[in-house]
Structure 1
Amino acid sequence: MDTVRHLEDGTIQKSTGEIHFGWVLEGRAIQDIWIRPRRPAPSTMYGTTLRIFDPGIGGWHIIWSDPLNQDYSRQIGRAEGKDIVQIGDDSRGLKTRWRFTEITANSFHWIGEERSSERDPWHITYEHLARRTSP
Protein backbone atom coordinates (compact mmCIF):
# COMPACT_ATOMS: atom_id res chain seq x y z
CA MET A 1 0.00 0.00 0.00
CA ASP A 2 0.97 3.60 -0.45
CA THR A 3 0.23 5.81 2.55
CA VAL A 4 -0.28 9.55 2.87
CA ARG A 5 -0.31 11.04 6.36
CA HIS A 6 -1.97 14.45 6.62
CA LEU A 7 -0.35 16.51 9.39
CA GLU A 8 -2.09 19.32 11.29
CA ASP A 9 0.15 21.97 9.71
CA GLY A 10 -1.07 20.99 6.23
CA THR A 11 2.03 19.05 5.18
CA ILE A 12 1.97 15.40 4.18
CA GLN A 13 4.27 12.45 4.73
CA LYS A 14 4.35 9.53 2.29
CA SER A 15 5.34 5.95 3.01
CA THR A 16 4.64 2.41 1.93
CA GLY A 17 3.30 -0.55 3.82
CA GLU A 18 1.57 -3.89 3.58
CA ILE A 19 -1.77 -5.36 4.62
CA HIS A 20 -2.71 -9.00 5.04
CA PHE A 21 -6.43 -9.99 5.16
CA GLY A 22 -7.97 -13.33 6.02
CA TRP A 23 -10.96 -15.11 7.49
CA VAL A 24 -10.42 -16.27 11.10
CA LEU A 25 -12.38 -17.86 13.95
CA GLU A 26 -13.78 -20.62 11.72
CA GLY A 27 -14.95 -18.08 9.15
CA ARG A 28 -16.83 -15.94 11.66
CA ALA A 29 -14.56 -12.89 11.45
CA ILE A 30 -12.10 -11.09 9.19
CA GLN A 31 -8.69 -10.16 10.56
CA ASP A 32 -6.17 -7.94 8.90
CA ILE A 33 -2.61 -6.95 9.78
CA TRP A 34 -1.36 -3.47 8.83
CA ILE A 35 2.40 -2.83 8.69
CA ARG A 36 4.03 0.49 7.91
CA PRO A 37 6.52 1.02 6.45
CA ARG A 38 6.90 -2.02 4.27
CA ARG A 39 9.22 -4.64 5.77
CA PRO A 40 12.14 -5.08 6.36
CA ALA A 41 12.30 -1.45 7.59
CA PRO A 42 11.56 -0.93 11.30
CA SER A 43 7.83 -0.49 11.81
CA THR A 44 6.23 2.80 12.81
CA MET A 45 2.79 1.12 12.84
CA TYR A 46 2.05 -2.56 13.28
CA GLY A 47 -1.55 -3.32 14.10
CA THR A 48 -4.48 -5.62 13.59
CA THR A 49 -8.20 -5.26 13.03
CA LEU A 50 -10.81 -7.85 13.91
CA ARG A 51 -14.20 -7.49 12.16
CA ILE A 52 -17.15 -9.61 13.33
CA PHE A 53 -20.54 -9.39 11.60
CA ASP A 54 -23.58 -8.94 13.85
CA PRO A 55 -26.87 -9.69 12.07
CA GLY A 56 -28.75 -8.03 14.94
CA ILE A 57 -27.36 -4.60 14.00
CA GLY A 58 -26.79 -5.32 10.31
CA GLY A 59 -23.16 -4.31 10.68
CA TRP A 60 -19.70 -5.23 11.86
CA HIS A 61 -18.16 -4.85 15.31
CA ILE A 62 -14.61 -3.64 14.66
CA ILE A 63 -11.69 -3.66 17.07
CA TRP A 64 -8.37 -2.06 16.06
CA SER A 65 -5.16 -2.53 18.04
CA ASP A 66 -1.68 -1.11 17.40
CA PRO A 67 0.33 -2.15 20.47
CA LEU A 68 3.48 -0.51 19.08
CA ASN A 69 1.86 2.94 19.43
CA GLN A 70 -0.71 2.01 22.11
CA ASP A 71 -3.45 3.01 19.66
CA TYR A 72 -6.84 1.33 20.02
CA SER A 73 -10.28 1.88 18.48
CA ARG A 74 -13.76 0.35 18.56
CA GLN A 75 -16.11 0.99 15.68
CA ILE A 76 -19.28 -0.17 13.95
CA GLY A 77 -18.98 -0.69 10.19
CA ARG A 78 -21.68 -0.79 7.54
CA ALA A 79 -22.02 -0.56 3.79
CA GLU A 80 -22.98 2.91 2.55
CA GLY A 81 -23.64 2.65 -1.16
CA LYS A 82 -20.48 1.22 -2.72
CA ASP A 83 -18.34 2.17 0.31
CA ILE A 84 -17.74 0.61 3.70
CA VAL A 85 -17.85 3.15 6.54
CA GLN A 86 -16.66 2.46 10.08
CA ILE A 87 -17.45 4.94 12.87
CA GLY A 88 -16.37 4.86 16.50
CA ASP A 89 -13.98 6.22 19.11
CA ASP A 90 -10.25 5.80 19.62
CA SER A 91 -8.12 5.49 22.75
CA ARG A 92 -7.53 9.28 22.78
CA GLY A 93 -11.26 9.91 23.02
CA LEU A 94 -11.52 11.18 19.45
CA LYS A 95 -14.35 10.27 17.09
CA THR A 96 -13.04 8.21 14.16
CA ARG A 97 -14.39 7.46 10.71
CA TRP A 98 -12.62 5.03 8.42
CA ARG A 99 -13.92 4.73 4.87
CA PHE A 100 -13.10 2.08 2.29
CA THR A 101 -13.86 3.65 -1.11
CA GLU A 102 -13.11 2.87 -4.76
CA ILE A 103 -13.32 -0.83 -3.89
CA THR A 104 -12.47 -3.29 -6.67
CA ALA A 105 -11.46 -6.95 -6.67
CA ASN A 106 -7.80 -5.85 -6.53
CA SER A 107 -7.67 -2.47 -4.78
CA PHE A 108 -9.28 0.04 -2.45
CA HIS A 109 -8.77 3.57 -1.11
CA TRP A 110 -8.90 3.82 2.70
CA ILE A 111 -9.53 7.25 4.23
CA GLY A 112 -9.04 7.78 7.97
CA GLU A 113 -10.69 10.78 9.57
CA GLU A 114 -11.11 12.12 13.10
CA ARG A 115 -12.81 14.88 15.05
CA SER A 116 -13.04 15.93 18.68
CA SER A 117 -16.83 16.08 18.97
CA GLU A 118 -20.03 15.59 16.98
CA ARG A 119 -20.09 19.35 16.24
CA ASP A 120 -16.60 19.43 14.72
CA PRO A 121 -15.94 18.73 11.03
CA TRP A 122 -14.15 15.53 10.02
CA HIS A 123 -10.54 16.00 8.96
CA ILE A 124 -8.45 13.47 7.08
CA THR A 125 -5.47 12.07 8.95
CA TYR A 126 -4.41 9.14 6.75
CA GLU A 127 -5.06 7.69 3.32
CA HIS A 128 -4.01 4.24 2.19
CA LEU A 129 -4.09 3.22 -1.46
CA ALA A 130 -3.96 -0.57 -1.41
CA ARG A 131 -3.59 -3.02 -4.24
CA ARG A 132 -3.45 -6.81 -4.37
CA THR A 133 -0.02 -8.24 -5.11
CA SER A 134 -0.92 -11.95 -5.00
CA PRO A 135 -4.09 -14.04 -5.44
Structure 2
Amino acid sequence: MDTVHHLDDGTIQKWNGECHFGWVLGGRAIQDVRIRPKRPAPSTMYGTTLRIFDPGIDGWHIIWNDPLNQDHSRQIGRAEGKDIVQLGSDSHGLKTRWRFTETTADSFHWIGEERSSESDLWQITYEHFARRQNPEAS
Protein backbone atom coordinates (compact mmCIF):
# COMPACT_ATOMS: atom_id res chain seq x y z
CA MET A 1 0.00 0.00 0.00
CA ASP A 2 1.30 3.44 -0.91
CA THR A 3 0.27 6.26 1.42
CA VAL A 4 0.16 10.01 0.93
CA HIS A 5 -0.20 12.13 4.10
CA HIS A 6 -1.55 15.64 3.44
CA LEU A 7 -0.24 18.01 6.13
CA ASP A 8 -1.99 21.20 7.27
CA ASP A 9 0.73 23.39 5.71
CA GLY A 10 0.09 21.93 2.24
CA THR A 11 3.13 19.64 2.14
CA ILE A 12 2.83 15.90 1.71
CA GLN A 13 4.69 12.87 3.01
CA LYS A 14 4.78 9.56 1.15
CA TRP A 15 5.60 6.07 2.33
CA ASN A 16 4.88 2.42 1.69
CA GLY A 17 3.19 0.06 4.09
CA GLU A 18 1.11 -3.08 4.34
CA CYS A 19 -2.58 -3.73 4.85
CA HIS A 20 -3.94 -7.23 5.50
CA PHE A 21 -7.71 -7.91 5.33
CA GLY A 22 -9.56 -11.03 6.39
CA TRP A 23 -12.78 -12.45 7.78
CA VAL A 24 -12.63 -13.06 11.56
CA LEU A 25 -14.95 -14.16 14.38
CA GLY A 26 -16.32 -17.08 12.39
CA GLY A 27 -17.06 -14.93 9.35
CA ARG A 28 -19.04 -12.37 11.36
CA ALA A 29 -16.58 -9.50 10.98
CA ILE A 30 -13.82 -8.14 8.74
CA GLN A 31 -10.51 -7.14 10.28
CA ASP A 32 -7.64 -5.29 8.71
CA VAL A 33 -4.18 -4.71 10.08
CA ARG A 34 -2.21 -1.70 8.79
CA ILE A 35 1.54 -1.58 9.21
CA ARG A 36 3.61 1.48 8.43
CA PRO A 37 7.34 1.04 9.02
CA LYS A 38 9.54 3.85 10.38
CA ARG A 39 9.76 5.72 7.10
CA PRO A 40 9.65 8.67 7.50
CA ALA A 41 10.57 8.45 11.18
CA PRO A 42 8.88 8.63 13.63
CA SER A 43 5.72 7.83 11.64
CA THR A 44 5.46 4.23 12.73
CA MET A 45 1.87 3.01 12.97
CA TYR A 46 0.46 -0.41 13.69
CA GLY A 47 -3.31 -0.25 13.62
CA THR A 48 -6.26 -2.55 13.27
CA THR A 49 -9.86 -2.05 12.20
CA LEU A 50 -12.77 -4.32 13.07
CA ARG A 51 -15.94 -4.05 10.96
CA ILE A 52 -19.09 -5.84 12.18
CA PHE A 53 -22.28 -5.79 10.09
CA ASP A 54 -25.51 -4.79 11.85
CA PRO A 55 -28.66 -5.62 9.84
CA GLY A 56 -30.68 -3.34 12.16
CA ILE A 57 -28.93 -0.27 10.73
CA ASP A 58 -28.05 -1.85 7.37
CA GLY A 59 -24.46 -0.83 8.02
CA TRP A 60 -21.21 -1.69 9.72
CA HIS A 61 -20.01 -0.76 13.20
CA ILE A 62 -16.33 0.10 12.79
CA ILE A 63 -13.65 0.43 15.44
CA TRP A 64 -10.09 1.42 14.52
CA ASN A 65 -7.26 1.41 17.03
CA ASP A 66 -3.55 2.21 16.88
CA PRO A 67 -2.20 1.03 20.26
CA LEU A 68 1.31 2.26 19.47
CA ASN A 69 0.15 5.90 19.22
CA GLN A 70 -2.91 5.56 21.50
CA ASP A 71 -5.23 6.70 18.71
CA HIS A 72 -8.69 5.37 17.86
CA SER A 73 -11.84 6.03 15.86
CA ARG A 74 -15.44 4.77 15.80
CA GLN A 75 -17.48 4.90 12.62
CA ILE A 76 -20.58 3.60 10.85
CA GLY A 77 -20.01 2.37 7.29
CA ARG A 78 -22.40 1.92 4.40
CA ALA A 79 -22.34 1.47 0.65
CA GLU A 80 -22.91 4.67 -1.33
CA GLY A 81 -23.19 3.73 -4.98
CA LYS A 82 -19.97 1.91 -5.88
CA ASP A 83 -18.12 3.32 -2.87
CA ILE A 84 -17.99 2.43 0.81
CA VAL A 85 -18.24 5.44 3.14
CA GLN A 86 -17.47 5.32 6.87
CA LEU A 87 -18.47 8.26 9.09
CA GLY A 88 -17.59 8.84 12.73
CA SER A 89 -15.16 10.61 15.04
CA ASP A 90 -11.62 10.10 16.27
CA SER A 91 -9.88 10.25 19.64
CA HIS A 92 -9.20 13.99 19.13
CA GLY A 93 -12.90 14.82 18.70
CA LEU A 94 -12.62 15.40 14.96
CA LYS A 95 -15.28 14.08 12.62
CA THR A 96 -13.87 11.44 10.27
CA ARG A 97 -14.84 10.10 6.89
CA TRP A 98 -13.08 7.20 5.20
CA ARG A 99 -14.04 6.55 1.59
CA PHE A 100 -13.12 3.42 -0.34
CA THR A 101 -13.32 4.24 -4.06
CA GLU A 102 -12.10 2.89 -7.39
CA THR A 103 -12.44 -0.63 -6.02
CA THR A 104 -11.46 -3.52 -8.27
CA ALA A 105 -10.69 -7.19 -7.57
CA ASP A 106 -7.03 -6.23 -7.00
CA SER A 107 -6.96 -2.62 -5.74
CA PHE A 108 -8.75 0.29 -4.10
CA HIS A 109 -8.23 3.96 -3.24
CA TRP A 110 -8.85 4.73 0.45
CA ILE A 111 -9.34 8.43 1.26
CA GLY A 112 -9.19 9.54 4.90
CA GLU A 113 -10.78 12.89 5.70
CA GLU A 114 -11.51 14.91 8.82
CA ARG A 115 -13.22 18.11 9.79
CA SER A 116 -13.26 20.15 12.95
CA SER A 117 -16.43 21.29 14.71
CA GLU A 118 -15.82 24.80 13.32
CA SER A 119 -15.76 23.71 9.68
CA ASP A 120 -18.27 22.23 7.26
CA LEU A 121 -15.50 21.28 4.83
CA TRP A 122 -13.86 17.87 4.73
CA GLN A 123 -10.06 17.98 4.57
CA ILE A 124 -8.17 15.05 3.06
CA THR A 125 -5.54 13.88 5.52
CA TYR A 126 -4.52 10.52 4.07
CA GLU A 127 -4.81 8.66 0.80
CA HIS A 128 -3.97 4.97 0.61
CA PHE A 129 -3.48 3.27 -2.73
CA ALA A 130 -3.76 -0.45 -2.04
CA ARG A 131 -3.10 -3.29 -4.42
CA ARG A 132 -3.23 -7.02 -3.96
CA GLN A 133 0.20 -8.58 -3.83
CA ASN A 134 0.76 -11.63 -6.00
CA PRO A 135 1.22 -14.52 -3.51
CA GLU A 136 3.93 -16.05 -5.71
CA ALA A 137 5.92 -12.80 -5.41
CA SER A 138 6.17 -13.05 -1.60
Relative to the length of structure 1, the TM-score reads 0.94
Q: Does 1:9 align with 2:12?
A: no
Counterpart contact for 1:18–1:38, Cα < 8 Å: no
Summarize the alignment of residues 27-46 of structure 1 with structure 2, pairs less than 5 Å apart: 27-37=27-37, 44-46=44-46
CA distance in 1, matches of 2:43, 2:133: 20
Q: Which runs of 4+ in 1 moved over 6 A?
A: none
CA distance in 1, matches of 2:54, 2:113: 24
Cα RMSD (Å) of the superposition? 1.9
Counterpart contact for 2:38–2:44, Cα < 8 Å: no
Matched to 1:66, the amino acid is D
Q: Does 1:63 align with 2:35?
A: no
Structure 2: segments with no counterpart, 5+ residues? none
Structure 1: segments with no counterpart, 5+ residues? none
Percent sequence identity is 83
Q: Does 1:84 align with 2:84?
A: yes
Deviation at 1:38, TM superposition (A): 8.1
CA distance in 1, matches of 2:134, 2:38: 16
Deviation at 1:42, TM superposition (A): 8.2
User: Which secondary structure state, in structure 1, belongs to the residue aligned with residue 68 of structure 2?
Assistant: coil
Tell me the matched-pair count. 134
Counterpart contact for 1:98–1:112, Cα < 8 Å: yes
Counterpart contact for 1:35–1:43, Cα < 8 Å: no
Relative to the length of structure 2, the TM-score reads 0.92
